[in-house]
Structure 1
Amino acid sequence: MSTINCFFNTYQRRLEDLEKKLNRDQLLVADELTSAERELAMEMVHMGLLENIAQRVFVTKQFPINDFLLRQLVLGQGVYTGNTALYLWHLSDAFPYTIQLAVRMGYQVPKQRYLEWTENVQFKQVRQPRLEEDVKKIDVAKTTRKILVYSPERVLVELIKSTETDKELLKAGIQRYLRSPQRNLNQLLMVSKRLKAEKKVQFIMETLL
């Protein structure tokens, strides 16, 4: 096989690999691509086939942008918590215009570089290993990607502990949780014990049950 044929075969394989990834997820994450694949992705951006999100994610024009997923992919970390997680678990209908995101202790928020993805975000710095405890994944339609979010139990316990929680929003969220298939009172009590809120949680559960 000639050198020219080898070049075209290699180029074709790279295109096929990108096509498979795009068909699977409707997006590409820059850090997951080789330098050659990134060059191809940039060519597709220049041709109007892909949109370049913050130099970190390439999405197809057909992909309905999921801000919650893209924020985590752009920042490379973060777990949704608080009212944002309540909304993602369908325990609240109130859209979180202020996003609450738990990040590792010491994280430097890249406000200048990723302004669109950091404005209106409340960053909560959390020490290890608590940052990674109770993390669940929510599927994103038409992709294999998942949104990282704290479990309903962790979210409810932290909202119960907080003095800044909207009481009506919390009450409605707890009531939905108690009626939902995801209800797990044993897990709720385990989390409340670990987060030192057992008495508060028990009192509220006894009141609402």
Structure 2
Amino acid sequence: MNQIWAKISELAEANNGFFRTAQVEKIGISRPMLRKYTDAGKLEQVRKGLYVITESIPDEFALLQEQCRAAIFSYGTALYLWGLSDRTPHLYDITVPRGQNITILKRDNPNLRSHYLPRDLYEIGITQTHSPQGAEVSLYDRERCICDLIRDKEQMDMQLYTQAIKGYFRTKPNRRKLLKYGKLFGIEDKIRTYMEVL
């Protein structure tokens, strides 16, 4: 029994604090054994087939994307991960393709703010970085984040907006990529104005 628990703990640790039923079965542990640990309060089923160790602190960023692989961190969350915002997100901003059903994800994660886009625009600028706990997560690159801010300026918190724009132009901005994205989103003129000012 202790050997089985050691295997489960090891698996969770190697997988950002969580694991799927299939991964446990792969190392020779049965579903009834998972149920046993869940009933004993040692494991918590986050979603069908997805578990965390009750006393552990799983990587929230990685866990969210494990629940929905189409969810890309965007807006304030992506800005935080890039160091363009000093605000720890209390709401996770994600963008998904229009038509993607995330009803269960939203039900299980009340601290979620979702944005929907047509697939061609959704796919622009997807890249990877590491969460504060070290997991690899998908998010939009810095240039895409700046475009999203400028496109949705009216809905943005002005302090966050100003900090991110100034922070981006203070570091090494990729002007060519920014203009290319600007053209795709129909905000090229606005971006040129920011470039001149900053």
2:142 aligns to what? Answer: 152
**Secondary structure class of the residue paired with 1:129:** helix
- Which of 50, 65, 68 pairs up with 1:72? 65
Residue 152 of structure 1 and its aligned partner are, at CA, apart by 1.1
Query: In structure 2, the residue corresponding to 1:92 is in which secondary structure?
Result: coil
* Structure 1 residues 38 and 151: CA distance shift in structure 2, 3 A: farther
Unaligned segments of structure 1, at least 5 residues? 1-11
Rg comparison, structure with higher value: 1
Aligned to 2:90: 97
Measure, in 1, the Cα distance between the counterparts of 2:22 and 2:169: 41
The answer to whether the Cα contact below 8 Å between 2:106 and 2:112 also exists between their aligned partners in 1 is no
* Partner AA of 1:122 in structure 2: R
What is the aligned-residue identity percentage? 21
Q: TM-score, normalised by structure 1?
A: 0.74
Are 1:136 and 2:123 matched, yes or no? no
Q: Which amino acid aligns with 1:169?
A: L
Q: 1:196 aligns to what? A: 186
SS in 1 for 2:70: coil
TM normalised by structure 2 equals: 0.77
**Partners in 1 of 2:131 and 2:55 — Cα distance?**
15
Q: What letter matches 1:107 in structure 2?
A: Q
Distance in 1 (alpha carbons) for counterparts of 2:13 and 2:114: 33
> Over the residues paired in the alignment, what is the CA RMSD in angstroms?
3.1
- Matched residue SS, 1:96: coil
Q: Does 1:60 align with 2:53?
A: yes
Contiguous gaps of at least 5 residues in structure 2: none
Distance apart, 1:49 and its partner CA: 4.2
Matched-pair contact (CA < 8 Å) for 2:18–2:63: no
User: What SS is found at the alignment partner of 2:194?
Assistant: helix
Secondary structure in 1 aligned to 2:96? strand
